[in-house]
Copies of this chain bind each other. A is one copy, B any other.
Protein backbone atom coordinates (compact mmCIF):
# COMPACT_ATOMS: atom_id res chain seq x y z
CA UNK A 1 0.00 0.00 0.00
CA UNK A 2 1.57 3.35 -1.00
CA UNK A 3 1.79 6.20 1.51
CA UNK A 4 -1.45 8.22 1.82
CA UNK A 5 -1.39 10.73 -1.03
CA UNK A 6 -3.92 12.92 0.79
CA UNK A 7 -1.69 14.19 3.56
CA UNK A 8 1.39 15.62 1.88
CA UNK A 9 2.40 18.89 3.55
CA UNK A 10 5.36 20.71 5.04
CA UNK A 11 6.57 20.78 8.65
CA UNK A 12 9.16 23.20 10.06
CA UNK A 13 12.07 20.87 9.38
CA UNK A 14 11.04 20.56 5.70
CA UNK A 15 11.82 24.21 4.94
CA UNK A 16 15.22 25.38 3.76
CA UNK A 17 16.64 28.88 3.45
CA UNK A 18 16.30 30.23 -0.07
CA UNK A 19 13.75 27.58 -1.03
CA UNK A 20 11.19 28.76 -3.61
CA UNK A 21 7.65 27.41 -4.08
CA UNK A 22 5.23 28.23 -6.84
CA UNK A 23 1.82 28.26 -5.20
CA UNK A 24 -1.17 26.59 -6.81
CA UNK A 25 -3.42 27.52 -8.41
CA UNK A 26 -3.54 30.56 -10.69
CA UNK A 27 -6.83 32.31 -9.99
CA UNK A 28 -8.81 34.75 -12.11
CA UNK A 29 -10.63 37.50 -10.21
CA UNK A 30 -14.03 38.46 -11.62
CA UNK A 31 -17.24 40.42 -11.07
CA UNK A 32 -18.29 37.44 -8.99
CA UNK A 33 -15.44 38.12 -6.57
CA UNK A 34 -16.35 41.80 -6.22
CA UNK A 35 -19.94 40.90 -5.33
CA UNK A 36 -19.06 38.03 -2.96
CA UNK A 37 -16.68 40.31 -1.07
CA UNK A 38 -19.36 42.98 -0.62
CA UNK A 39 -21.96 40.40 0.51
CA UNK A 40 -19.59 38.94 3.12
CA UNK A 41 -18.06 42.16 4.47
CA UNK A 42 -20.44 45.03 3.64
CA UNK A 43 -17.53 47.03 2.17
CA UNK A 44 -18.75 50.26 0.52
CA UNK A 45 -15.53 51.85 -0.78
CA UNK A 46 -16.88 53.54 -3.96
CA UNK A 47 -13.85 52.75 -6.09
CA UNK A 48 -14.48 49.00 -5.85
CA UNK A 49 -18.19 48.88 -6.62
CA UNK A 50 -18.50 51.15 -9.65
CA UNK A 51 -18.28 50.19 -13.32
CA UNK A 52 -14.50 50.55 -13.74
CA UNK A 53 -13.87 46.96 -12.68
CA UNK A 54 -11.11 47.64 -10.18
CA UNK A 55 -10.64 44.81 -7.68
CA UNK A 56 -10.39 45.69 -3.97
CA UNK A 57 -6.76 45.45 -2.75
CA UNK A 58 -7.92 43.22 0.13
CA UNK A 59 -9.48 40.74 -2.33
CA UNK A 60 -6.04 40.50 -3.93
CA UNK A 61 -4.45 40.04 -0.51
CA UNK A 62 -6.81 37.23 0.57
CA UNK A 63 -6.43 35.48 -2.78
CA UNK A 64 -2.65 35.56 -2.51
CA UNK A 65 -2.57 34.50 1.13
CA UNK A 66 -4.93 31.63 0.34
CA UNK A 67 -2.64 30.46 -2.45
CA UNK A 68 0.25 30.12 0.01
CA UNK A 69 -1.60 28.09 2.66
CA UNK A 70 -1.00 24.68 1.11
CA UNK A 71 2.79 24.94 1.08
CA UNK A 72 3.44 27.20 4.05
CA UNK A 73 0.81 27.17 6.72
CA UNK A 74 -1.20 23.93 6.75
CA UNK A 75 0.81 23.00 9.85
CA UNK A 76 0.94 26.52 11.21
CA UNK A 77 0.22 27.01 14.88
CA UNK A 78 -0.04 30.79 14.63
CA UNK A 79 0.13 33.51 12.00
CA UNK A 80 2.52 35.91 13.72
CA UNK A 81 2.80 38.97 11.53
CA UNK A 82 3.15 40.80 8.21
CA UNK A 83 5.54 43.52 7.07
CA UNK A 84 6.64 45.39 3.94
CA UNK A 85 3.34 44.70 2.19
CA UNK A 86 2.99 46.74 -0.97
CA UNK A 87 0.42 46.71 -3.78
CA UNK A 88 2.32 47.48 -6.98
CA UNK A 89 -0.12 47.18 -9.90
CA UNK A 90 -3.91 47.64 -9.88
CA UNK A 91 -5.91 44.44 -10.45
CA UNK A 92 -9.00 44.59 -12.63
CA UNK A 93 -11.81 42.13 -13.29
CA UNK A 94 -10.44 39.36 -15.53
CA UNK A 95 -6.87 39.49 -14.28
CA UNK A 96 -5.25 36.22 -13.22
CA UNK A 97 -3.17 36.05 -10.03
CA UNK A 98 -0.21 33.69 -9.56
CA UNK A 99 1.88 33.54 -6.41
CA UNK A 100 5.31 32.31 -5.40
CA UNK A 101 7.07 32.30 -2.04
CA UNK A 102 10.70 32.22 -0.90
CA UNK A 103 11.90 31.14 2.53
CA UNK A 104 14.01 34.05 3.84
CA UNK A 105 14.31 33.20 7.52
CA UNK A 106 14.10 30.20 9.87
CA UNK A 107 14.30 30.17 13.64
CA UNK A 108 13.55 27.12 15.73
CA UNK A 109 11.91 27.63 19.10
CA UNK A 110 13.75 26.37 22.18
CA UNK A 111 10.88 23.97 23.02
CA UNK A 112 11.95 22.08 19.83
CA UNK A 113 8.30 21.59 18.91
CA UNK A 114 7.86 24.57 16.63
CA UNK A 115 9.80 27.08 14.59
CA UNK A 116 9.25 30.40 12.91
CA UNK A 117 9.30 30.56 9.11
CA UNK A 118 9.82 33.94 7.38
CA UNK A 119 8.28 33.96 3.92
CA UNK A 120 8.67 36.53 1.17
CA UNK A 121 5.53 36.38 -1.03
CA UNK A 122 5.32 37.78 -4.55
CA UNK A 123 2.11 37.74 -6.61
CA UNK A 124 1.97 38.54 -10.31
CA UNK A 125 -0.73 39.06 -12.92
CA UNK A 126 -1.14 37.47 -16.37
CA UNK A 127 1.45 39.91 -17.76
CA UNK A 128 3.97 38.92 -15.05
CA UNK A 129 3.73 42.33 -13.42
CA UNK A 130 4.03 42.22 -9.65
CA UNK A 131 0.68 43.08 -8.08
CA UNK A 132 1.46 42.47 -4.41
CA UNK A 133 4.46 41.55 -2.32
CA UNK A 134 4.98 41.12 1.41
CA UNK A 135 6.84 39.27 4.12
CA UNK A 136 4.93 37.14 6.58
CA UNK A 137 6.11 35.02 9.49
CA UNK A 138 4.31 32.02 10.90
CA UNK A 139 4.92 29.55 13.68
CA UNK A 140 4.97 26.05 12.14
CA UNK A 141 4.92 22.71 13.94
CA UNK A 142 7.77 20.24 13.72
CA UNK A 143 7.11 16.63 12.85
CA UNK A 144 10.24 15.22 14.51
CA UNK A 145 11.66 16.83 17.65
CA UNK A 146 15.16 15.43 17.10
CA UNK A 147 15.80 17.57 13.99
CA UNK A 148 17.27 20.87 15.20
CA UNK A 149 18.91 22.47 12.16
CA UNK A 150 17.97 26.07 12.91
CA UNK A 151 18.03 26.08 16.72
CA UNK A 152 21.65 27.20 17.06
CA UNK A 153 21.84 29.08 13.75
CA UNK A 154 18.66 31.09 13.36
CA UNK A 155 18.28 33.40 10.36
CA UNK A 156 15.94 36.33 10.87
CA UNK A 157 15.45 38.93 8.13
CA UNK A 158 15.67 42.62 8.91
CA UNK A 159 12.34 44.22 8.05
CA UNK A 160 11.45 47.88 7.69
CA UNK A 161 9.18 49.43 10.34
CA UNK A 162 7.12 51.06 7.61
CA UNK A 163 6.83 51.05 3.85
CA UNK A 164 8.28 54.33 2.55
CA UNK A 165 5.74 56.40 0.56
CA UNK A 166 8.20 56.92 -2.29
CA UNK A 167 7.72 53.23 -3.10
CA UNK A 168 3.99 53.65 -3.79
CA UNK A 169 2.77 53.24 -7.34
CA UNK A 170 1.50 56.45 -8.95
CA UNK A 171 -2.23 56.95 -9.06
CA UNK A 172 -4.19 58.56 -11.91
CA UNK A 173 -6.80 61.24 -11.11
CA UNK A 174 -10.02 59.77 -9.77
CA UNK A 175 -13.64 60.87 -10.22
CA UNK A 176 -14.67 60.75 -6.58
CA UNK A 177 -16.00 63.67 -4.54
CA UNK A 178 -18.36 64.29 -1.63
CA UNK A 179 -21.38 63.52 -3.77
CA UNK A 180 -20.20 60.09 -4.87
CA UNK A 181 -18.63 59.09 -1.56
CA UNK A 182 -21.01 60.70 0.92
CA UNK A 183 -18.12 62.00 3.01
CA UNK A 184 -17.04 65.59 3.57
CA UNK A 185 -13.59 64.91 5.05
CA UNK A 186 -10.59 64.83 2.72
CA UNK A 187 -6.86 64.30 3.17
CA UNK A 188 -6.36 67.81 4.57
CA UNK A 189 -8.97 67.29 7.28
CA UNK A 190 -7.14 64.55 9.20
CA UNK A 191 -4.74 65.34 12.05
CA UNK A 192 -2.03 63.06 13.41
CA UNK A 193 -3.17 61.79 16.81
CA UNK A 194 -6.86 61.89 15.89
CA UNK A 195 -9.02 58.85 16.70
CA UNK A 196 -12.00 57.86 14.55
CA UNK A 197 -14.60 55.66 16.22
CA UNK A 198 -16.46 53.75 13.52
CA UNK A 199 -20.03 53.29 14.62
CA UNK A 200 -20.92 49.86 13.22
CA UNK A 201 -20.90 46.48 14.94
CA UNK A 202 -20.86 43.19 13.02
CA UNK A 203 -21.68 39.83 14.57
CA UNK A 204 -19.77 36.99 12.90
CA UNK A 205 -21.82 33.98 11.73
CA UNK A 206 -20.37 30.50 11.10
CA UNK A 207 -21.39 30.51 7.49
CA UNK A 208 -19.96 33.97 6.82
CA UNK A 209 -16.44 33.29 8.04
CA UNK A 210 -16.26 29.82 6.52
CA UNK A 211 -17.54 31.08 3.15
CA UNK A 212 -14.97 33.86 3.30
CA UNK A 213 -12.10 31.44 3.89
CA UNK A 214 -13.39 29.02 1.23
CA UNK A 215 -13.78 31.87 -1.25
CA UNK A 216 -10.03 32.44 -1.07
CA UNK A 217 -9.31 28.68 -1.12
CA UNK A 218 -7.74 28.89 2.32
CA UNK A 219 -7.94 25.30 3.54
CA UNK A 220 -6.42 25.46 7.02
CA UNK A 221 -8.50 22.88 8.87
CA UNK A 222 -9.04 24.88 12.07
CA UNK A 223 -11.42 27.22 10.21
CA UNK A 224 -13.89 24.54 9.13
CA UNK A 225 -13.96 21.49 11.35
CA UNK A 226 -16.20 21.79 14.39
CA UNK A 227 -15.12 18.39 15.76
CA UNK A 228 -11.38 19.11 15.45
CA UNK A 229 -11.84 22.44 17.24
CA UNK A 230 -14.13 21.32 20.05
CA UNK A 231 -17.12 23.10 18.56
CA UNK A 232 -15.31 26.38 17.93
CA UNK A 233 -13.82 26.70 14.44
CA UNK A 234 -11.32 29.57 14.48
CA UNK A 235 -12.21 32.51 12.25
CA UNK A 236 -9.62 33.14 9.49
CA UNK A 237 -7.76 36.28 10.62
CA UNK A 238 -8.36 37.94 7.28
CA UNK A 239 -12.09 38.10 7.98
CA UNK A 240 -11.94 40.54 10.94
CA UNK A 241 -9.39 42.50 8.92
CA UNK A 242 -11.88 42.95 6.08
CA UNK A 243 -14.80 43.57 8.44
CA UNK A 244 -12.80 46.24 10.29
CA UNK A 245 -11.74 47.85 7.02
CA UNK A 246 -15.37 47.89 5.83
CA UNK A 247 -16.48 49.48 9.13
CA UNK A 248 -13.74 52.10 8.77
CA UNK A 249 -15.58 53.58 5.79
CA UNK A 250 -17.53 55.65 8.34
CA UNK A 251 -15.12 58.53 8.83
CA UNK A 252 -12.86 57.71 5.86
CA UNK A 253 -15.38 58.02 3.02
CA UNK A 254 -12.93 59.66 0.65
CA UNK A 255 -10.44 56.83 0.85
CA UNK A 256 -9.26 55.31 -2.43
CA UNK A 257 -7.84 52.02 -1.23
CA UNK A 258 -5.12 50.56 0.92
CA UNK A 259 -1.68 50.93 -0.69
CA UNK A 260 0.69 49.32 1.83
CA UNK A 261 0.65 47.47 5.15
CA UNK A 262 3.50 48.30 7.52
CA UNK A 263 2.65 45.62 10.03
CA UNK A 264 -0.19 43.61 11.44
CA UNK A 265 -0.90 41.45 14.46
CA UNK A 266 -3.78 39.05 15.06
CA UNK A 267 -3.71 39.52 18.83
CA UNK A 268 -6.68 37.39 19.96
CA UNK A 269 -8.83 34.71 18.30
CA UNK A 270 -12.31 35.33 16.87
CA UNK A 271 -15.12 32.75 16.88
CA UNK A 272 -18.64 32.69 15.44
CA UNK A 273 -20.92 34.70 17.69
CA UNK A 274 -18.36 37.42 18.44
CA UNK A 275 -19.39 40.97 17.53
CA UNK A 276 -16.67 43.10 15.95
CA UNK A 277 -16.17 46.86 16.40
CA UNK A 278 -13.30 49.03 15.21
CA UNK A 279 -11.57 52.35 15.44
CA UNK A 280 -8.74 54.10 13.63
CA UNK A 281 -5.87 56.19 14.99
CA UNK A 282 -4.18 58.58 12.55
CA UNK A 283 -0.40 57.98 12.85
CA UNK A 284 1.07 60.02 10.00
CA UNK A 285 0.15 61.94 6.83
CA UNK A 286 2.03 62.63 3.59
CA UNK A 287 1.14 64.53 0.44
CA UNK A 288 2.13 62.42 -2.56
CA UNK A 289 0.74 64.42 -5.51
CA UNK A 290 -1.39 67.43 -6.34
CA UNK A 291 -4.51 65.29 -5.98
CA UNK A 292 -3.64 62.64 -3.43
CA UNK A 293 -2.24 62.20 0.03
CA UNK A 294 -1.66 59.11 2.11
CA UNK A 295 -2.61 58.61 5.74
CA UNK A 296 -0.75 56.17 7.95
CA UNK A 297 -3.52 54.59 9.98
CA UNK A 298 -3.75 52.16 12.86
CA UNK A 299 -6.91 50.07 12.48
CA UNK A 300 -7.85 48.28 15.68
CA UNK A 301 -10.59 45.65 15.60
CA UNK A 302 -12.18 44.56 18.88
CA UNK A 303 -14.61 41.84 19.87
CA UNK A 304 -17.71 42.22 22.04
CA UNK A 305 -16.68 45.63 23.31
CA UNK A 306 -17.44 49.02 21.78
CA UNK A 307 -14.29 51.16 21.79
CA UNK A 308 -14.16 54.64 23.32
CA UNK A 309 -12.09 57.75 22.70
CA UNK A 310 -9.76 56.79 25.57
CA UNK A 311 -9.51 53.02 25.07
CA UNK A 312 -5.96 51.66 25.64
CA UNK A 313 -4.96 49.13 22.97
CA UNK A 314 -2.10 47.72 25.05
CA UNK A 315 -1.67 47.83 28.80
CA UNK A 316 1.31 46.77 30.94
CA UNK A 317 1.02 43.26 32.36
CA UNK A 318 1.07 43.76 36.17
CA UNK A 319 3.38 40.78 36.74
CA UNK A 320 5.97 41.38 34.00
CA UNK A 321 5.58 45.07 33.22
CA UNK A 322 5.58 44.17 29.50
CA UNK A 323 2.95 45.67 27.24
CA UNK A 324 0.13 43.30 26.40
CA UNK A 325 -2.88 43.61 24.12
CA UNK A 326 -6.25 44.13 25.77
CA UNK A 327 -8.08 40.79 25.57
CA UNK A 328 -10.78 42.33 23.36
CA UNK A 329 -8.35 43.44 20.66
CA UNK A 330 -8.29 40.95 17.79
CA UNK A 331 -6.39 42.92 15.13
CA UNK A 332 -3.84 45.72 15.22
CA UNK A 333 -3.09 46.86 11.66
CA UNK A 334 -0.68 49.62 10.63
CA UNK A 335 -1.24 50.67 6.99
CA UNK A 336 -1.10 53.46 4.42
CA UNK A 337 -4.40 54.60 2.90
CA UNK A 338 -4.67 56.67 -0.29
CA UNK A 339 -6.93 59.72 0.18
CA UNK A 340 -8.48 62.29 -2.13
CA UNK A 341 -7.47 65.87 -1.46
CA UNK A 342 -10.02 68.57 -0.72
CA UNK A 343 -8.79 70.84 -3.48
CA UNK A 344 -10.51 68.61 -6.02
CA UNK A 345 -13.95 69.60 -4.73
B residues near A221, Cβ cutoff 8 Å: 199-201
Q: Are B205 and A4 in contact (CB under 8 A)?
A: no
A181 smallest CB distance to B (angstroms): 5
Q: Are B202 and A205 in contact (CB under 8 A)?
A: no
Q: Are A203 and B180 in contact (CB under 8 A)?
A: no
Q: Kindly identify, within residues 115 to 130 of chain A, every residue whose CB is under 8 Å from any CB belonging to chain B.
A: 126
Q: Are B211 and A275 in contact (CB under 8 A)?
A: no
Partner of A5, one of B2, B4, B196, B217: B196
Q: Are A50 and B38 in contact (CB under 8 A)?
A: no
Q: Known contacts A35-B30, A42-B219: does B185 contact A51 (CB below 8 Å)?
A: no
B residues near A213, Cβ cutoff 8 Å: 42
B residues near A6, Cβ cutoff 8 Å: 196-199, 250-251, 279-280
The docked-state distance in angstroms from the alpha carbon of A23 to that of B183 is: 10
Q: Are A40 and B211 in contact (CB under 8 A)?
A: yes
Instruction: Say if the beta carbon of A28 comes within 8 Å of chain B.
Output: yes
Stretch at the interface among A101-109, A226-234, A257-265, A285-293: A226-234
B residues near A27, Cβ cutoff 8 Å: 49-50
Q: Known contacts A194-B2, A200-B224: does B309 contact A26 (CB below 8 Å)?
A: no
The docked-state distance in angstroms from the alpha carbon of A161 to that of B202 is: 39
Q: Are B5 and A26 in contact (CB under 8 A)?
A: no
Partner of A200, one of B1, B225, B251, B304: B225
Q: Are B24 and A34 in contact (CB under 8 A)?
A: no
A36 smallest CB distance to B (angstroms): 5
Partner of A180, one of B25, B184, B196, B197: B25
Instruction: Say if the beta carbon of A41 comes within 8 Å of chain B.
Output: yes
The docked-state distance in angstroms from the alpha carbon of A183 to that of B9 is: 10
Q: Are A225 and B32 in contact (CB under 8 A)?
A: no
For the complex, count residues of A whose C-beta is within 8 A of B: 88
Q: Which of A5, A196, A202, A309 has the most CB of B within 10 A?
A: A5
Q: Kindly identify, within residues 1 to 55 of chain A, every residue whose CB is under 8 Å from any CB belonging to chain B.
A: 1-2, 4-8, 22-28, 30-36, 38-42, 44-46, 49-51
Partner of A39, one of B71, B191, B211: B211
Partner of A215, one of B35, B181, B225, B279: B35
B residues near A182, Cβ cutoff 8 Å: 23-25, 70-71
Instruction: Say if the beta carbon of A138 comes within 8 Å of chain B.
Output: no
B residues near A71, Cβ cutoff 8 Å: 182
Q: Are B226 and A180 in contact (CB under 8 A)?
A: no
B residues near A94, Cβ cutoff 8 Å: 51
Q: Are B24 and A46 in contact (CB under 8 A)?
A: yes
A250 smallest CB distance to B (angstroms): 5
Residue pairs across A and B with Cβ atoms less than 8 A apart, 11 shown, are A4-B309, A6-B199, A23-B182, A24-B180, A32-B32, A39-B40, A199-B221, A203-B210, A203-B233, A205-B210, A225-B275
Q: A residues touching B (Cβ–Cβ < 8 Å)?
A: 1-2, 4-8, 22-28, 30-36, 38-42, 44-46, 49-51, 70-71, 94, 96, 126, 179-185, 189-191, 193-203, 205-208, 210-215, 217, 219, 221, 224-228, 233, 250-253, 273, 275, 279-280, 304, 306, 309
Please provide the 4 A-B residue pairs with the shortest distance between their CB atoms, ordered closest to farther. A32-B35, A25-B46, A24-B182, A6-B251
